[in-house]
A and B are shown apart, each in its own frame.
Chain A
Amino acid sequence: NAGVMQNPRHLVRRRGQEARLRCSPMKGHSHVYWYRQLPEEGLKFMVYLQKENIIDESGMPKERFSAEFPKEGPSILRIQQVVRGDSAAYFCASSPRSGIDTEAFFGQGTRLTVV
């Protein structure tokens, strides 16, 4: 049973370009969470999605950032017009359900570098 798969592992973008980060949850998991980790810091929640629904995007910047989890295919975190401050590691986690008695598993992350 494959774990949470994120790609690419490393992504370099010039300022002003778009970055697309992909996350395929574990088999049987329909809940996806995106987190951002700045160097030497903890993980900050960005967005929580279920299939075709954004449940909570309270941690995501209002501009330039968007996320989706379509009925088919991976979840996508999209960053438009990237700036140097977007450089970070972006982690995706999945779980089979929400609420109590739920364990989340993380992918290996995508390290975004904006030059």
Chain B
Amino acid sequence: GIQVEQSPPDLILQEGANSTLRCNFSDSVNNLQWFHQNPWGQLINLFYIPSGTKQNGRLSATTVATERYSLLYISSSQTTDSGVYFCADFTQGGSEKLVFGKGTKLTVNP
């Protein structure tokens, strides 16, 4: 099945800094999603982005399906951005299910 690799595994920033998180896929990208798991454990949908670029406030994401990767950009980071960021994609063929990467743990310090 599809393998999802995320980098970096950990990231520590000062408030106000920018960052880029990356997600690589071993197979073709189908239904790529980015999630933020906040310190209380809630999983929040950030982007549904099978291809192209989307922006939502200080966050934006780009998926290059032909090269099997996606990037999540966080600009002017805030302490509330802390948590774990996951990317996931639906497998294709047979039973479809979301396969997750191991996540990037982001800590934004004041």
Q: Does A115 sit within 8 A of B, measured CB to CB?
A: no
- Interface residue tally for chain B (C-beta within 8 Å): 24
Q: Does A93 sit within 8 A of B, measured CB to CB?
A: yes
Q: Are B96 and A103 in contact (CB under 8 A)?
A: no
Choose, from B19-27, B53-61, B68-76, B98-106, the stretch at the interface: B98-106
A interface bracket (residues with beta carbon within 8 Å of B): 20 to 34
- CB B45 to nearest CB in A, in angstroms, measures 6
Bound: A76/B33 CA distance, A: 25
Residue from A89, A100, A108 in contact with B90 in the complex, judged by beta carbons closer than 8 Å: A100
Q: Does A56 sit within 8 A of B, measured CB to CB?
A: yes
| A 85-114 to B, binary, CB cutoff 8 A, 1 in contact else 0 | 000010101000011111111101101000
* Interface SS of chain B: loop
Q: A43-B86, A100-B30 are in contact. Are A111 and B41 (CB under 8 A)?
A: yes
| A residues near B103, Cβ cutoff 8 Å | 42
Q: Are A48 and B31 in contact (CB under 8 A)?
A: no
| B residues near A109, Cβ cutoff 8 Å | 41-43
| A residues near B88, Cβ cutoff 8 Å | 43
Q: Does A55 sit within 8 A of B, measured CB to CB?
A: yes
Q: Does B95 sit within 8 A of A, measured CB to CB?
A: yes
Interface residues of B (CB under 8 A from A): 30-31, 33, 35, 41-43, 45, 48, 50, 86, 88, 90, 92, 94-103
Interface residues of A (CB under 8 A from B): 33, 35, 41-45, 48, 55-56, 58, 89, 91, 93, 98-106, 108-109, 111
